[in-house]
Amino acid sequence: MKTGNLLGFALVATLVAAPHTAFAAGFANTAQSGTATGMAGVATGNPDEPNANFYNPSSMAFSQGIEINAGPTIIVPSVSYESIDGEITENTEAAIFPPPNFSLAIPVAGGFTAGLGVTLPWGLAITWPQDWVGRENFQAQSLRTINVNPNVAYKVPGLDLGVAAGVQVMRSELSQSRTIILRDDREAQVELGGVGYGVGGTFAAMYRPTDAITVGLNYRSGAKIDYHGHARFSENVEGTPFEDRMVDQEIATSIDIPHTLNLGLGWQLTEALWLGVDVNYYTWSAYDSVEVEFSEQSPEGEPGESDPPLVVNADWNDAAAFRIGGQYEVIDDLQVRLGFAFDMTPVPDDTVGPSLPDNDRYVFAAGVGYEVANFRTDLGYNFIYLNQRKIRNGNVDGNYQLGSHLVGLNVGYTF
């Protein structure tokens, strides 16, 4: 087998399946504040959402002062595997993934508000045990994409309408490992990693047709993230017939981040009770294939040639999520929240694998928020349940069960 093929299949096992996440189907991270987390992601039509830069930057047009909000989201995911005959069971290693979020809004002049958001909207990590049955297909991976998102919002004179536009600047780190079984008593590890950058845009609007109703729209463009990195093999390949084929070298590939369109409706039923509905749409069909390029020539190649790119199909489908949530002020400045979401998987049967044995997700949420003086703190919890995913495409066939616990905690201050 050529060097390129060995490296390609190792990397493509990561990129075609894409990293498993605990927030939304595919590899989107949608839990970016304690407030939204407590209502299962309902935020697009919420004028009181503290992380406005992520969920709806146009709501900053209604800001009454400088607003700052920050905090982590703690995710504890788990994946279990059972062979088709039921004789082998495995579980991923315990892990905690703590992506941060930050939002700043500063009213300037003439109805304009400047904002800055920093989030980790794409990725997380998953690790199977060193001796698990599918280690030759996939062992472990991590995807971390930091998005720096400056926005400008504007309050349209004479209307309860805010609009906003911004830029997304992404820096992404990707790593993956798998085992290569050289013979029954000897195995080698291949580690692949790289750093990539991408740029996108945002547009948002928020309209209040009445004092009680808010309609929100938030569009976040897709982006192509180009990765450049290295492939490295363990020393176990030395002295074997594979030594001249498993050569440390540079690699390059790219991931297409989907466009997202979010629509939200908020309704202040009473002075104490607010309800919201969100619909999120992801153009995951843009994630149709992965092409991996190699810097080194395989031994079978002609002098001066490098391996041709390896292209593997992903063939994901567009998908949507539906969310409903609300909050109730039980006493002055103390809100309790509940929510539920149904999130469709974009991963088809033909390409699903052990790095993302994804399925439709059911999100059950609860939270609490408290304000004192100019401070606010919000705490939200999600239990995320997925139906069992049965893989029968030759990609470590078996029955997979996913689930996650998620806690979002944020602290904010208004100057």
Identify any residues that bridge with 233 across adjacent strands, giving them in sequence order: 190
Residue carrying structure tokens 């790219």 = 254
Rounded-to-integer distance, Cα 27 and Cα 270, Å: 37
Residue carrying structure tokens 């309609």 = 215
* 6 vs 280, more confident: 280
If residue 54 lies in a helix (H) or strand (E), which one and from where to where?
Answer: helix 52-55
Identify the pLDDT of residue 243. Answer: 67
* 24 vs 384, more confident: 384
Average of per-residue pLDDT across 64-86: 91
**Confidence band (pLDDT; 50, 70, 90) for 16?**
very low
Evaluated on CA atoms 344, 350, 351, 356, the torsion sign reads positive
**Strand pairing report for 67-82 and 361-372:** unpaired
Rounded-to-integer distance, Cα 295 and Cα 397, Å: 33
Identify the pLDDT of residue 18. Answer: 43
pTM assigned to the model:
0.87
Rounded-to-integer distance, Cα 43 and Cα 365, Å: 13
Domain ranges of the chain: 3-414
Average of per-residue pLDDT across 342-361: 87
Q: Give the right CATH number for 3-414 from 3.40.630.30, 2.30.42.10, 2.40.160.60, 3.40.50.280.
A: 2.40.160.60
- Mean per-residue pLDDT over the chain, rounded: 86
Q: Count CB-CB contacts under 10 A for residue 120.
A: 22
DSSP state of 7: H
CA dihedral 393, 226, 122, 258 (to 10 degrees): -70
Evaluated on CA atoms 288, 118, 79, 135, the torsion sign reads positive
Map residue 12 onto helix, strand or coil.
helix
379 pLDDT higher than 80: yes
Say if residues 62 and 162 touch (Cβ distance below 8 Å). Answer: yes
The pair of structure tokens assigned to 79 is 């994946």
Q: What percent of the chain has pLDDT over 90?
A: 55
Average of per-residue pLDDT across 192-200: 93
pLDDT digits (tens, 9 = 90+) for 94-148: 777 788 999 999 999 889 999 999 999 988 778 888 888 888 878 888 888 999 9
How many CA atoms are closer than 13 Å to the CA of 140, on its beta-carbon side?
A: 16
Say if residues 261 and 222 touch (Cβ distance below 8 Å). Answer: no
Average of per-residue pLDDT across 162-188: 87
Q: Identify which of 140-149, 177-186, 358-367 has the greatest average pLDDT.
A: 358-367
